[in-house]
Amino acid sequence: MATYSEEFEPVEHISRLIKFWWVLVLCAALGGAAGLMINRFKAPVYEAQAIFMTIIDFNKIDFTHPPANTPEPYQFSQYDEDLSLALVQTSLIRVEPQVVDFAKQNGLSIDIAGLTETSTVERYHAYWYVRFRDSDPALAQKMVNYWAQAGFADMQAKQKANELPTYILFDLIQLAELPKSPTYLQTNSFVLAGIVIGLIAGILLVNMPFIKNRKDH
């Protein structure tokens, strides 16, 4: 007697999925909606943001006396530009220990790893965005502003000590305002996971009669 696995017909299986495509779509949509709802029911997190601006004044670059071991004619490459503009990130990393101390003084039990998990430092062209997240919007604002000002002070100290190239110009152009609405993290991941789970459930649902009929023969 043939077993179910031997009687399985892929064409019939696929035809059934095509016939009941609306069930798959409905289950996927319901799964995505469920993923979104789960994401929204999580404890609210508020994100505060400060902004730096860094630019390079190419008129101040000494192309006549370039750095040692550079090709001739000397060119300021994209790598050189990115390395120069990383000044902000470098200073923000340097002051992380004092930011952690400040966090502990304000009731947050975090270390450097915890600071990394609750913050984001990103660059878009000439702008650096420093963000900190917490369930308390006022504390998120307080933390990111302290961090931004500490990093800015570090950059200014380097500049005063002539440790920075004169062609790098920087400024802290915006301190964080009090966040008014929560930030929902990983929304796309939750929705996508819900869609996938819903789609799998739809496939199983569509094939339940098919499997039952096969087993009965």
Same domain, 59 and 149: yes
In this prediction, residues 164-189 reach a mean pLDDT of 83
Domain region containing 89: 49-63+76-174
Give a yes or no: residue 71 inside a domain.
no
Total number of domains in the chain:
2
- Residue 174, number of CB atoms within 10 A of its CB: 14
Give a yes or no: residue 151 inside a domain.
yes
Q: Quick one: pLDDT at residue 202?
A: 76
Binned at pLDDT 50, 70 and 90, residue 181 comes out as: confident
Same domain, 168 and 196: no
C-alpha 123/C-alpha 86 separation (Å) is: 9
User: What are 74-103's pLDDT values in tens digits?
Assistant: 566 666 777 778 889 999 999 999 999 999
Give a yes or no: residue 180 inside a domain.
no
Q: Which range in 72-81, 118-127, 191-200 is most confidently predicted, on average pLDDT?
A: 118-127
Same domain, 57 and 31: no
Q: Are strands 119-124 and 46-56 parallel, antiparallel or unpaired?
A: unpaired
C-alpha 192/C-alpha 204 separation (Å) is: 19
The mean of the pLDDT values for the chain is 80
User: What are 19-76's pLDDT values in tens digits?
Assistant: 777 777 887 787 777 766 765 666 678 899 999 999 888 777 765 455 555 555 456 6
Give a yes or no: residue 68 inside a domain.
no
Same domain, 92 and 160: yes
**What DSSP assignment string belongs to 3-21?**
-HHHH--HHHHHHHHHHTH
Same domain, 25 and 86: no
> Which CATH number covers residue 84?
3.30.70
Same domain, 119 and 149: yes
Give a yes or no: residue 69 inside a domain.
no
Same domain, 170 and 196: no
Same domain, 107 and 212: no
